[in-house]
Structure 1
Amino acid sequence: LRVETLRQAEDKPSPEDGDVLQLKKGNFNRALRKNKQLLVHFYVPLSGEGHRISAAFEGAAAELQGSEVKLAVVDVAKEKDLAKELNVTGLATIRLYLAGDKHNPVTCPAPHTSASILAWLKRRAGSAADLIADLSQSESSEELTVVGFFKELDHEYVQVFYDAAVDLPDVNFAVTQNNEVITKYGLTHDVVLLLKQSKLIQAYKMTPQTSKEMLIVFITVYQMDPVTEYTGQTATQILSSPVLNHALLFVNKSSAAFKEIHSAFNGAAESYRLKILFVWVDVDEPRNGRMMEYFRVRSFEAPLIRLVNLTDHVTYHLPSDTLDVHTIKAFCQSYLEGEAKPKMQSQPIPEGWDQRPVKELVGMTLEKVGFNPDKTVFVLFYLPYSAASRALFPLWEELAEALKGREDVVVARIDASANDINMSVQGGYPSLCLFPALYAERVRNTPVLLFCLMESDEDRRKYIEAAKAEEAKKANQSKDEL
């Protein structure tokens, strides 16, 4: 009786908003036990993507009334303990819990509409036979349709095709064995066709090496135009693309040269469809301000082209004012072959930067000062808008004063948000890096110094007092020698 009472206290009735359960730590387990299939959206309030998915959930829930699938949401901003327990880290995570299994959920792709949710649930529970459709309607559709033409429906190619369809619920898929279709496009069996309004966009020949991931890359790349404008509507599609190399054209859409430049950019894009994603950004659009700020592009600098990899975020700049097809393709090729040099952004060198106790470094002076083999250089990498960074400024000044008598020691700082750093800086900002003298390692984070300066104010004070004492000791030794 006591166990049952405790269980009832823990599992309070699930409050509902329409047909979607509002789950918390106290009623999550009860919802798992009660529903054979529980599709849960873990969301962050005020998130644009979270709001869109929530709307899709509402629509899908209405369609799923009476089924064994129940939809629910969890506000991770309020339910931090539950999110931590379930290891939820993404801003918009969607999971399907089956038969009360709390530890082995199925991840659902972020849907665009309620129809996407319904398609995903149907496909993952069905088979390739469910994708056989009337192609006369699909071919005339303005939406992209992925058509698999297979000689045998029990071939392993069909399963790979179907697995890709499950992971792409926003895309129309169809399977056919109609020879007239393949004859119409002049192709053979075991091929995947991308069709839009009866026009063949691209074809992909299946091979024994073709994986689900390879097919998904092909479909998602050719689902987009060769060049995509960056907007609020396309941002998610661009950032979620499996192609991680992005070519960005910053250009003024209203300029006289726009059509010519865009045409050249589009011409180059055709040659690198599966290797580089081509995106253009209108610098005259106020809503693109954050994008320009991130890449530190000012509107008067346009047109210009940058290449960036979304894994390491290292940026490359097209070193030419000529933006024709040949120049753009040559730049892309040098990037892919590893011959392009990263774009190093740098603030102007401040006047009198080396006359103050704390030397104010910029991108152009960091390597020269930091890698001086005759000096030990201690650098604070900071963000000007970070409270944690600003809190270190007084202590950094005090440290520089304590060590100003040491000609072989330099205390410096650099704004990491305004200067590209061509080195590995471990952890976030603020970060402290020691550049040892005597041709030591290129960059070495010193655990003892990091502990003394980062753990607490008391430890930081102790380090500074020790530095002062050392300077006083050396001064007394010099007096004795004299």
Structure 2
Amino acid sequence: MRRLLLLGLSAFCLCAFVAADEHREGQGATSLPEEDGVLQLNEGDFKRALRKYKQLLVHFYAPLSAESHRVSAAFKGAAAELEGSEVKLAVIDVTEEKELAKDLNAKGPPIIRLYLGGDKQNPVPCPDPVSAASILTWLKRRAGSAADLITDRSLSEFSEELTVVGFFKELDHEYVQVFYSAAMDLPDVSFAVTQNNEVISEYGLTHDVVLLLKKSKLIQAYKMMPQTSKEELIVFITVYQMDPVTEYTGKTANQILGSPVLNHALLFVNESSADFREIHSAFNSAAGAFRLKILFVWVNVYEPRNGRMMEYFRVRDFEAPIIRLVNLTDHVTYHLPSDSLDVETIKTFCQSYLEGKAKPKLQSEPAPEGWDTRPVQELVGMTLEKVAFHPNKTVFVMFYLPYSQESQALFPLLEELAEALKEREDVVVARIDASANDIDLTMQGRYPSLGLFPALYAERMVVYKGKMKDRVKEDEDRKKYIEAAIAEDAKNADKTKEEL
């Protein structure tokens, strides 16, 4: 009997616990922290929100990220429109909830994911939204189908800034599904599907094409093929929705950096200069031949907000107009080697880059006054080759970083080495700031590095692998070291010449 009473009491406690838990679930909407209609979640709140909401759209953000601030603003606007719907918006600060971000693999904000039915393992990624309207459009398209894009509007009714119109003969064809999938990933672009013959006959095209229209004007047409993928269609749309040449500004930066075209031609020019129109026109004319291959961007050098861009490419305003070409994968920069910026010169340069014939740009500081009269010559990119590959002199160069304590510790030793060798007219001791000058040499190891350029064998460098501070402590030791290195290298140079 006592045992039955204990079992009954246990069952009662269990029921009470479940009821209390269910009550807490029912009160979750009020207990979860919320601001402007957007949940502010930590790890525990996230688990509760997953259980409570059928659709939970979460923005993983970092407070100091400008992009995160933009997305957060879009979230607030969308939350007001979604009030009372099945979708709930939430944010998680990844700098505070590091373990949760790691568990969900939510690194590199902003990241936006839609969690469905409490499943945290298989969220749906949401494209980076430009505005609240982007979020609402994405949710609407995701909840609908390709049929929702069908319209019978006439050509004159496509008055949007940009509309992507699919003209398909069969609406159940797989082309339509590819088209709709692209629409899902581009919520900031207006899409429509039509079978209105007026649209297609206006341009003399056949069925199964995708048209890019700006206020009813045809910008470009894309013929769908059996092998056409969603990704290929997205590249076409994102490239041609931009002008042939785009000015770099705060508003266009994300669009430029997010372009699927990774080769960028950059025109640095003064918008107020007398020849701006002529140069911009030539740049624009050349751009047409390289759509889908090179993105053409111009940068106003007298716009203060472009300072970081100019600093990155080490462009000074007095150097404009100049053209640089860079690939966003390896960030190797190329410089148009010409003072003439006409259409053919620009096209030839771009084509040589695509064919792998262009040479990388070597950045250089201006040569300081009296640089070649100092005991330790201060080289820059534009003087390095002239000095180091001198046919009658052996040159000892330190490649340093000005902010490196290790580099700074070697400066006195380099001065002492120059003093010990001052009677040797055939020997030069020099240094070069590797952070401010691009150097087209293979350096082994990290900076500071020491290189010996022997006189007897031009365009050859021997990297010193020892520790300078350990090997050249006294004047006589320095002399012996440098002279021995010169003699040894002369033997190697002669041997190499014989082999050639």
TM-score (norm 1): 0.79
| Percent identity over paired residues | 69
1:69-468 residue pairs with structure 2 within 5 A? 69-136=87-154, 139-349=157-367, 351=370, 362-364=380-382, 382=401, 384=402, 389-397=403-411, 414-422=432-440, 431=447
Q: Contact 2:334–2:359 at 8 Å: present in 1 too?
A: yes
Tell me, what secondary structure is at the counterpart of 1:306?
A: strand
Cα distance, 1:157–1:413 mapped onto 2, change above 3 Å? farther
Larger Rg belongs to: 2
User: What secondary structure sits across from 1:40 in the alignment?
Assistant: strand
AA matched with 2:406: L
Normalised to the residue count of structure 2, the TM-score between the two structures is 0.76
Give yes or no for contact 1:139–1:195 (8 Å, CA) kept in 2.
no
Closer/same/farther in 2, CA of residues 107 and 468 from structure 1, 3 Å limit: farther
Q: SS state of the match for residue 246, structure 1? A: strand
Q: Which residue of 2 aligns with 1:460?
A: none
CA 172–365 in structure 1, closer or farther in 2 if over 3 Å, else same: same
3-state DSSP class of the match of 1:104? coil
- 8 Å Cα contact 1:131-1:173 kept in structure 2: yes
Is this contact kept in 2: 1:192–1:206, CA < 8 A? Answer: yes
8 Å CA contact retained: 1:402, 1:467: no
Deviations 1:370-395 (A, max 9, x none): 999x999896653x5xxxx4333444
In structure 2, distance between residues paired with 1:170 and 1:50 = 18
Aligned length: 447
**Alpha-carbon distance in structure 1 between the residues aligned to 2:286 and 2:162:** 23
1:42-96 CA-to-partner distances (Å, cap 9, x unmatched) read 2222433222211111111122222222111122233333333333332322122
8 A contact 2:375–2:415 mirrored in 1: no
| Residue 435 (structure 1) shift | 6.3
Partner of 2:485: none
Q: Which range is displaced more, 410-419 or 339-348? A: 410-419
**Distance in 2 (alpha carbons) for counterparts of 1:327 and 1:78:** 53
Single out whichever of 131-140 and 64-73 deviates more from structure 2: 131-140
- Kindly state the Cα deviation for residue 236 of structure 1 after the two structures are TM-superposed: 1.0
Unaligned runs of 5+ in 2: 1-12, 481-500
Shift of 1:107: 2.0
How far apart are residue 431 of structure 1 and its match? 4.7
How far off is 1:356 after superposition? 6.4
1:201–1:370 Cα change, 3 Å: same
Counterpart contact for 1:363–1:419, Cα < 8 Å: yes
* 1:48 corresponds to which of 63, 66, 69: 66
Change (3 A) 1:370 1:320: closer
Residues 377 and 53 of structure 1: is their aligned pair in 2 closer, same or farther, counting only changes over 3 Å? Answer: farther
| Post-superposition offset of 1:219 | 0.5
Contact 1:39 1:95 in 2 (8 A): yes
Encode CA deviations 1:442-474: one digit per residue, 9 max, x unaligned. 99998xx8xxx9xxxxxxxxx9669869x98x9
CA–CA separation in structure 2 for the residues paired with 1:417 and 1:379: 13
Return the letter of the residue paired with 2:405. A
Task: Check whether the contact 1:378–1:432 (CA below 8 A) recurs between aligned residues.
Answer: no
Structure 1 unmatched runs, 5+: 454-462, 476-482
Corresponding residue SS for 1:249: strand
Aligned match of 2:75: 57
1:42 is paired with a residue whose SS is strand
Paired residues of 2:451 and 2:461 also in contact (CA < 8 A): yes
Letter in 2 for 1:17: E
Secondary structure at 1:135 match in 2: coil
Q: Distance in 2 between matches of 1:158 and 1:71?
A: 30
In structure 2, what is the Cα distance between the partners aligned to 1:411 and 1:124? 67
1:425 CA displacement: 7.6
CA deviations over 1:264-291 (Å, ceiling 9, x no partner): 1111111111111111111121211221
Aligned twin of 1:479: none
SS of 2:404's equivalent in the other structure is helix
Q: SS where residue 186 of structure 1 aligns? A: coil
